[in-house]
Amino acid sequence: MLLLGLLIYVNVRASQRILRSEEYANRKRWLLWGVWVIPFMGAFMVKNSVRAPASGVSALPQQARPLSRAFVTETPPRSLTAPGVEPFDVLSHMGLANGVPLMDWTAATAWAEGCAETGQKDEALERTHQAWLLHLRDALGPTYTLLKSDQAYVLSSLEPKVAMTMAQYIAATRARIRRVLDGVAYFPANCRSVVLVLDSQETYYHYVATYYPAEGEYAFSGGMFISSACPHFVVTRNTLDAIEPVIAHEMTHSSVAHLPIPLWLNEGLAVNTEQLLTGTRSSLYTPAELQQKHCSFWDSARIQEFWSGESFHRPDDGNPLSYDLAQRAVKQLGRDWPVFARFVSAAQRKDAGSAAAANVFSIDLGDLVCALLNFERNEAWSPNSATWAHKSEAGVEASERHWVIPPSREKRSQI
């Protein structure tokens, strides 16, 4: 009995060490299996192969980390120089919102545009991106580092090797998105993808609240793409295999940010691409339950919120149902990719893509969603910008500012 008690104690402690570690989910499962199947030896293997977690959510202090040349260790610049233009005073064009450094991107872009050659302009703008990220790094705390690769910036408190793995994944995902969304996706050649990995949900919501109106109730999100002169996406710290679907989703938004497409099309592309690249998206409901929810929720008034983009920001069932409907619509329309690519290139946010759908597919988008939801055809379901013109400005502003991906389970919050 003493030996059995000792075995259980050792296995429980080893299991706790695994669950608190930063190992990938699949590796955690295999390690847990080994602990409980191989007496004592499994626990011994865990002790020697799994690094104990750092206290709190952060790892070692920045100064104690053995950083490679891939990490930018310089102090945040006070000013920047570029050929043919006056120095750019970073500090005078940097403000704080909720304690978060924000660059005046209008001024930064105008300064970069003053350079004579295109390559110089790109380089100058990229330097403003790095300057902002360095100020943000220091504001977030000493555990954060800034990794710079050929195609990505990763601002995080991740262990160096994990941050480098994430940068490699971003580069691979950019290439895969280009292939999957051929003729639609675009990543500027001289512009790195920027990802912020924040330590906690609290820090995440504190950061993204800057990009929401001061008051209002909004749905929880698992990640966000913020479109600005420095486009970037934000996720919370997690195991890399949990972050990968969020990266795929948000990078899809980034790849089509050059197109003035409606939000339903943008989200449908992102959800389907995420699923294609990672195969991880699942529904909380059975198909029958989901159909019942659609039938109970949508009517001729609420479907106009879908076309305007408003329903994607609802804090109720309208949020997940909007994502699901967008995914279905894009999957249906995307069966013939060359034709669908022409539609995406022509779709306009101002009419929810209605004119492009009529010209390219010879269909009415209202008829499409009625068919997808097994509803009777209803002319009132067609996009009608006149019915949402009074609130479309807010919807367009939001869709230009950010796109969000819902978390794996339903949660609602007041930011």
Q: What is the pTM of this model?
A: 0.71
pLDDT value of residue 285: 79
Write the CA distances from 223 to 178, 313, 406, integer angstroms.
Answer: 21, 14, 7
pLDDT value of residue 396: 35
What's the burial of 157, exposed, middle or buried (CB within 10 Å: 0-12/13-18/19+)?
buried
Tokens at 133, concatenated: 């990220």
Residue 293 CA to residue 326 CA, distance in Å, equals: 15
- Residue ranges of the chain whose pLDDT lies below 70: 3-4, 6-7, 9-11, 14, 18-37, 39-67, 212-222, 229, 239-240, 280-283, 389-415
**Residue carrying the six token digits 């675009």:** 186
Closest by alpha carbon to 193, among 207, 209, 178, 204? 178
> What tens digit of pLDDT does each residue of 85-94 get?
999 999 999 9
Q: Are strands 152-156 and 193-198 parallel, antiparallel or unpaired?
A: parallel
Q: What would the 3-class secondary structure string for the chain be?
A: CHHHHHHHHHHHHHHHHHHHCCCCHHHHHHHHHHHHHCCCHHHHHHHHHCCCCCCCCCCCCHHHCCCCCCECCCCCCCEECCCCCCCEECHHHEEEECCEEEECHHHHHHHHHCCCCHHHHHHHHHHHHHHHHHHHHHHHCCCCEEEECCCEEEEECCCHHHHHHHHHHHHHHHHHHHHHCCCCCCCCCCCCEEEEEECCHHHHHHHHHHHCCCCCCEECCCEEEECCCCCEEEEECCCHHHHHHHHHHHHHHHHCCCCCCCHHHHHHHHHHHHHHHHCCCCCCCCHHHHHHHHHHHCCCCHHHHHHHCHHHHCCCCHHHHHHHHHHHHHHHHCCCHHHHHHHHHHCCHHHCCHHHHHHHCCCCHHHHHHHHCCCCCCHHHCCCHHHHHHHHHHHHHHHHHEEEECCCCCCEECC
- Tell me the domain boundaries of the chain: 2-49, 62-258, 266-408
Tokens at 328, concatenated: 């279905």
pLDDT value of residue 128: 95
pLDDT value of residue 397: 35
pLDDT value of residue 373: 93
Q: Which residues have CB under 8 Å from 360's CB, separation 6+? A: 339, 342, 343, 346
Closest by alpha carbon to 72, among 148, 165, 129? 148
Write the CA distances from 265 to 69, 185, 189, 215, 272, integer angstroms.
Answer: 40, 13, 25, 27, 11
